[in-house]
A and B are shown apart, each in its own frame.
Chain A
Amino acid sequence: MALISANNLTIGYDGHPVLSNLNFEINAGDYFCIVGENGSGKTTLMKTILGLQQPISGAIEFGEGLAKNQIGYLPQQTDVQRDFPASVYEIVLSGCQNALGKKFFYSKEQKALALSNIKKMGIEHLKDRCYRELSGGQQQRVLLARALCATQRALLLDEPVAGLDPNVTAEMYELIKQLNDDGLTIIMISHDIQNVQGYANRIYDVAEEV
């Protein structure tokens, strides 16, 4: 049984299909890369995997006891976030919100988890800095640390290197590769086919399915 599988999946907005009859399986430990041109429906596919929108037909199935809310998510940045007054620690800690359950406040363990993920991403020195003052690459590390707080198993990344310069892009890919080597299943959306070929063990081109 695969970790995540799509069966005859058709996705789109308001009943208009963007991609139809998708079939794929993502296994535990995969570095699964979904590639395609801008506007090809990659983000729609990812939102459907995350359950943020319903498929038009077909279904996404989770196996091996993976729950929908156990997938960590690195979204593309929004305008709101770019000038958001919050410290790095506050943002990373908010990754624990699914573990909060019916409780109101974060536990010691959750705070420790946030700190250890900050260390893991190598941004310990930025812990108390304001998010809006960080560089693009640093901001991505913060959001990655937050995503790690939400999952031990699978990480979904939406264009993680968009807008980063080539050096930082390479660093980011190495960081993600390292997480994959540590046992995390990586699902990445990208239009950067050349670079991801060196890292991903499976590449899924949405354009070929249409």
Chain B
Amino acid sequence: MIDKLILYLSFPYVRYAIIVAVLIALCSSLLGVTLVLKRYSYIGDGLSHVAFGALAIATVLNYTNRMVIVLPLTIISAILLLRKGQNTKVKGDAAIAMISVGALAFGYLIMNLFPSSANVSGDVCSTLFGSTSLLTLSANEVFISGVLAIVVVGIFILFYNKIFAITFDENFANAVGTNVGFYNLLIATVIAIIIVLAMNLVGSLLMSALVIFPALSAMSIFKSFKRVIIFAAISSVIGALTGLLVSILVGTPVGSTIVAVDVVMFFVCYVIGKVKG
């Protein structure tokens, strides 16, 4: 077992995969708490479908760097969805369902109409569930993911106090002169970046699990915002590492293994939280 692990770790692409997995897990957990508390969990899910649609377009256009298309489209959708969430006239959940299902359908349609490779269903499956794509990342993609992840963590630390204030009470923040519109825009942008990053790791269908489970695990045990955030980050990194190593050793799909570990950790935390009271 150990020998096998050492052998695998001697390949640079496996090491890349691990570095990227840790970074992505770290930043996806940070804003998860804000999303869950603001009742925005489903926005993450909707956006990942948008990212799938965007990825389909990028694949068909044969872009070598698909992020160029996927990232801006996802950011725009994130901003639109968060705006809708504030407008009580348009039902937020209906808007999310509309955009996410629409993007999913068009993405699949485009990939079938203009197949870029012989194995369309294989392409679709790996975009939806992540499958082995993490191990096929190029050094360039690892670099971009790394930079984006560091940017996300940096933004989160710098704006931690404002993000907390807005998550807890948007009206109060607004009343005392905090530029709530700007910070919501910032949060939407960061969420979009996280989703595009996390899609590499677990695929678009499983991506919201990466955002939600660490946050829920932490919230069931800890009682201060700072501790919740820190524990969510730790548990997310542990989940990603464990899932990745298991998937390498046993040969299970990367994305679903990581999410399965996250789910198990959530139940453990939930029970601990109940016992502690």
Contact = CB atoms under 8 A, between A and B. Distances in A.
Nearest to B164: A94
Nearest to B89: A14
B194 interface: no
A87 B177 contact: no
B169 A78 contact: yes
B38 interface: yes
A85 interface: yes
B224 A85 contact: yes
Nearest to B225: A86
Interface residues of A, number: 36
A94 B224 contact: no
A106 B164 contact: no
Interface string B222-241: 11111010000000000000
B219 interface: yes
A113 B264 CA distance: 42
A169 B193 CA distance: 47
A38 to B, nearest CB: 19
A156 B162 CA distance: 22
Nearest to A156: B175
A26 interface: no
A128 interface: yes
B262 to A, nearest CB: 19
Nearest to A71: B175
A175 interface: no
A52 B178 CA distance: 11
B223 A133 contact: yes
A94 B165 contact: yes
B173 A97 contact: yes
Given A85-B228, A150-B176, A94 B168 contact: yes
A42 interface: no
B175 A84 contact: no
Interface in B8-38: 37-38
A152 interface: no
A84 B169 CA distance: 10
Interface string B160-176: 11101100110111111
B224 A98 contact: no
Interface in A133-154: 133, 146-147, 150
28 contacts: A73-B172, A73-B176, A75-B169, A75-B171, A75-B175, A78-B169, A80-B39, A81-B168, A81-B169, A84-B168, A85-B228, A86-B168, A86-B224, A87-B225, A90-B226, A91-B168, A94-B165, A97-B162, A97-B173, A97-B178, A100-B162, A104-B158, A128-B224, A129-B223, A130-B224, A132-B223, A133-B223, A146-B172
Interface of B: 37-39, 158-162, 164-165, 168-169, 171-178, 218-219, 222-226, 228
Given A72-B176, A95-B176, A97-B161, 17 more contacts: A51-B175, A52-B171, A52-B174, A73-B171, A75-B172, A78-B171, A84-B168, A85-B37, A85-B223, A85-B224, A86-B223, A94-B168, A97-B165, A97-B173, A97-B178, A98-B178, A147-B172
